[in-house]
Chain A
C-alpha cells in the first residue's frame, strides 16, 4: 500500500523543503520514515482533492486568552476610554463656546456716555447714535431707553429713580453687521474725541479673558487626556507582564521550537488588541451616551439649577459632531495603544529574560 505511488512520494518530498538534508538517501530506505509518514497520504489526497478539508480544526491561539487578565484589564480600558471621551467632549464644548463668544462679542459694541456738566445728555446720545451709524459695517444702533436704564440700575439705586436728577451714565448699543468692514480703532478714537464723556467698549477685555480661560480649559483637557491614556498604558504594561509570567511555560516552549521574539509578541498582542478594542468600544459608547444625556439634561429648561447657569455661559450645551469624532478617535487610539504597548512590553520582557 505504501509503495503504490512512489512518484507522488518523491514529489512531495521535494516540496517539503526545510533544512538541509543529505540528498539521494531520502526516497530509498526500506521501511523508511519518509514512506511511513506518507502512508495515509494518498487516500486523503484522493478523496479531498481540490476541496477545502472538511474537518479542518480551527487553530487555537498559542497564548490562551483566559491566561490574559482579560476582565479586569478590559474594565480598566473601558473606564479610561470613557474618561478620555468625556474629556474630549468637554474640550469640544468649551472650544465651541469660546468660538461662539468671540463671534458674538465683536458683533456688539457698547458706548457709554458719562454725564458732563452743562451738556445735554439726550443731545449727546442722539449725536453719538448718528455718529456711530456713519461707520462702515455698523448695523443697528440704539440707546438704552430711560426705562431700560432704570431697570438696569434698579438693583443698586432702588425703584423710583429719576434719571434726570442723577448723573447716571447712559448706554448705547451698537450692533455690527459686518465686523470685517469696521475699523474699530478709528471708531473708538473718533467717538471718544468728538463726544465728551463718551467711551467705547468693544468687550475685548472680556473676550480675551473668556478665550484665555477657554484655552486654559482646553489645555487642561488635553493634559487630563494624556494622563488618562498614560495610566491606561501603564495598566496594559502591568497586565502584559503578568500575562507573560503566567505563560512562562508557553514562552519557554515557543523559544525552544525556534520562535522569534516578534512571533511571541504578536501572540500576546492579538489578545490585547481585541481587549483594547472591546474596552475602548464599551467606554466610547458609554461616553457618547453620556454626551447625549448631558445634552438632554443640560437643555431641559429649569429642571436643574445648574443647567441654567451653564447654559447662560456656554449657550445650548451640546457636544458637536467633533466630540463624537473625537470619541471615535479615542476608541481607535486606545485599541492601537493597547496593542502596541503590549507588544513593546513583551519585547522588553523577552529582552530582559535569559
Chain B
C-alpha cells in the first residue's frame, strides 16, 4: 500500500535522520514502529502521510509515486490515510464532536449522514459526555481519544498513530489498542509508533525498529 525504497531524510542541512529505509505497509497489516526518542518515528510518519518529502529514495502510496503527486491530488490521497498526531492537533475553537466530524465535513458530507457515526464513536472511546466541550478543557487522555476518533471516523485504509497511548492509563490503553485491532480486522492497515513496551507485548505484530536512522524489521 505504501512502499519505501531507499528513502533518506534530512532536515535542511542537518544530519540524515532516516537512512536507506526500504519497507512497505501491506494491506490489512498491523505493525508497531518503535525506537528511542528522537529516532525519527514522527518524521517517518510524516513521510508516510505525505506531509514531508524524502530527500532521496522513492515512496509510493496506493500505487502512485508520491514525487509525482500534485498538490491537487494530495487531499484525495490523504483521505485514505488517518493520522493520530503525537500532539493531537485538535482545533480548540470546535467542540470535540466537531473535531471528530471534521474529516467528514471537509469531504463535503451532510451532517445528518455522519452525525450518529460520530456520536457512536465518541461514546465508544468514552467521550460520550464530553462531546460538546472544547479541547482546551479536555484532559490529556481525553484529547488523545478525540484525536484517535478523528483519525478513525472515516475508516481510512491506513491508520498512522503517533504515540496514541502516551497519555492514557493502562486499561484505557488496552481498550484503545483493541479499537485499533478491530479496525485492522475490518481491513485497515495500522501502524502505531510507540515506545510503550506494555503495548508492544500485548499484540503479536510486526515491529519496525528505528535505530541510528536505519530500520530493523522484526517479524
Chain A residues within CB distance 8 Å of chain B? 16, 18-22, 25-26, 29, 31-34, 36-41, 44-45, 53, 56-57, 59-60, 62, 64, 249-250, 252-261, 263, 351
**B185 contacts chain A at the CB level, 8 A cutoff:** yes
Can you list 15 contacts pairing A with B, beta carbon distance less than 8 Å? A19-B79, A19-B157, A22-B187, A34-B186, A37-B120, A38-B120, A56-B115, A57-B97, A59-B105, A59-B111, A255-B51, A255-B75, A256-B49, A257-B79, A258-B79
CB nearest to A351 among chain B residues: B71
Q: Of B16-24, B87-95, B192-200, which stretch is located at the interface?
A: B87-95
Q: Which 9 A-B pairs have the closest CB atoms?
A: A258-B79, A33-B182, A22-B187, A258-B78, A259-B106, A37-B120, A64-B93, A257-B103, A258-B75
* Interface residue? B48 (CB, 8 A): no
Q: Are A249 and B91 in contact (CB under 8 A)?
A: yes
- Give chain B's interface residue range (CB within 8 Å of chain A): 35 or more
Q: Are A62 and B102 in touch, CB under 8 angstroms?
A: yes
**Which of chain B's residues 165-216 have a Cβ closer than 8 Å to chain A?**
178-179, 182-183, 185-187
Instruction: Name the distance in Å between A223's Cβ and chain B's nearest Cβ.
Output: 39
Q: Which residues from B are CB-within-8-Å of A41? A: 116, 120
Contact with A along B115-133 (1 / 0, CB 8 A): 1110111011000000010
Chain A CB within 10 Å, residue with most, of B90, B117, B121: B117
Note all chain A residues with C-beta closer than 8 A to B115: 53, 56
Most chain-A CB neighbours within 10 Å: which of B85, B97, B106? B106
Whether A258 lies near B107 (C-beta < 8 A) is: yes
**CB of A250 to closest CB in B, whole Å:** 6
In the complex the two chains form, is A252's CB within 8 Å of B186's CB? no
- Does B163 belong to the interface (CB within 8 Å)? no
- Is A258 touching B106 in the complex (CB atoms < 8 A)? yes
- Which residues from chain A contact B154 at a C-beta distance below 8 Å? 18-19
Q: Which residues of B contact A22 (CB under 8 A)?
A: 28, 186-187
B105 near A62 (CB under 8 angstroms)?
A: yes
Q: Is the CB of A57 within 8 A of B95?
A: yes
Q: A22-B28, A33-B124 are in contact. Are A257 and B182 (CB under 8 A)?
A: no
In chain B between 99 and 156, which residues have their CB closer than 8 angstroms to a CB of chain A?
A: 102-103, 105-108, 111, 115-117, 119-121, 123-124, 132, 150, 154-156
B66 to chain A, nearest CB (A): 14
